Amino acid sequence: MQTILWNREEVLPRAKHLYESRIRSKIDLEENVGKMVIIDIETGDYKVDENGLHAADYLSAKHPNARLLHLRTGYKLAASLGSVIERFYK
C-alpha cells in the first residue's frame, strides 16, 4: 500500500469523520470511558485500550507506516499528532 501524505489541515477532519461515522457508535460505552482509542486515518482501523501505546503497537504491527491519531474516549475529545493539539469540540 502506498503511503498517503496528509498535512495538518487534512488529518484532523479525516479523523473526526472516521470517528463520528464509523467508530463512535461502537465504542461510546460506559466501560470505555477514559480509555484511549487509536485510529489509523488511512485505513479506518482502530483499537481501544487503557494504554494508548499498546493500541498503537497493535495497529502499527498491522500497518507499519500507519498515521495514527490518539483520542481519549468519554470526554470532550482532544486529538494529538506529535506536538499538534487540536480540539474537535468547543
Q: Domains of the chain: which residue ranges?
A: 8-87
Q: What residues of the chain score a pLDDT lower than 50? A: 1, 77-90
Average pLDDT, the chain: 77
Residues 6+ apart with CB under 8 A from 29: none
Specify the DSSP element, H or E, that contains 47: strand 46-49
Specify the DSSP class assigned to residue 74: T
What is the predicted pLDDT for the residue at 90?
35
What is the predicted pLDDT for the residue at 76?
53
Are residues 37 and 46 in contact, defined by beta-carbon separation less than 8 angstroms?
A: yes
What is the predicted pLDDT for the residue at 61?
93
